């Protein structure tokens, strides 16, 4: 993860709450991510994750399943890095 200070437990809890999705499949990816990386999420990664949460459930699912890659404003290294963490099993 980043060299920056990690979010504290309370901030991770709030972020986790804001990441709840309508599609179970998206929630499964997110829950696995938080289980593995929750204690190490940097403030910037939290911002990028919230940015991804602005996508529709179907668009997010397409990214998580590699049906498409980020484009436009999302086509940035920090988004791609976070997506890889979300995608890893």
d(CA 45, CA 50) in angstroms, rounded, equals: 9
Residue 1 pLDDT more than 60? no
Spatial contact of 75 and 54, defined as CB atoms under 8 Å apart: no
Each residue's pLDDT tens digit, 24-80: 999 999 999 999 999 999 999 999 999 999 999 999 999 999 999 999 999 999 999
Task: Give the range of the structural domain holding residue 14, as residue numbers without chain letter.
Answer: 9-87
d(CA 76, CA 59) in angstroms, rounded, equals: 17
| Token couple for 87 | 């995608």
| Token couple for 20 | 């709840």
Asked whether residue 50 is assigned to any structural domain, the reply reads: yes
Asked whether residue 3 is assigned to any structural domain, the reply reads: no
Asked whether residue 1 is assigned to any structural domain, the reply reads: no
**How many structural domains comprise the chain?**
1
Asked whether residue 18 is assigned to any structural domain, the reply reads: yes
Within 10 angstroms of residue 45's Cβ, the number of other Cβ atoms is 21
**Residue 79: which CATH number?**
1.10.150.250
**pLDDT-derived band of residue 4, with 50, 70 and 90 as boundaries?**
low
């Amino acid at each position: 993860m980043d060299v920056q200070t990690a979010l504290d437990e309370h901030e991770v809890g709030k972020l986790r709450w804001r990441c709840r999705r309508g599609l179970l499949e998206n929630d499964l990816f997110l829950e696995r991510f938080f289980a593995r990386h929750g204690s190490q999420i940097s403030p910037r990664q939290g911002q990028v994750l919230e940015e991804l949460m602005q996508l529709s459930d179907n668009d997010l699912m397409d990214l998580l399943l590699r049906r498409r890659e980020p484009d436009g404003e999302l086509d940035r290294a920090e988004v791609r890095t976070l997506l890889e963490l979300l995608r890893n099993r």
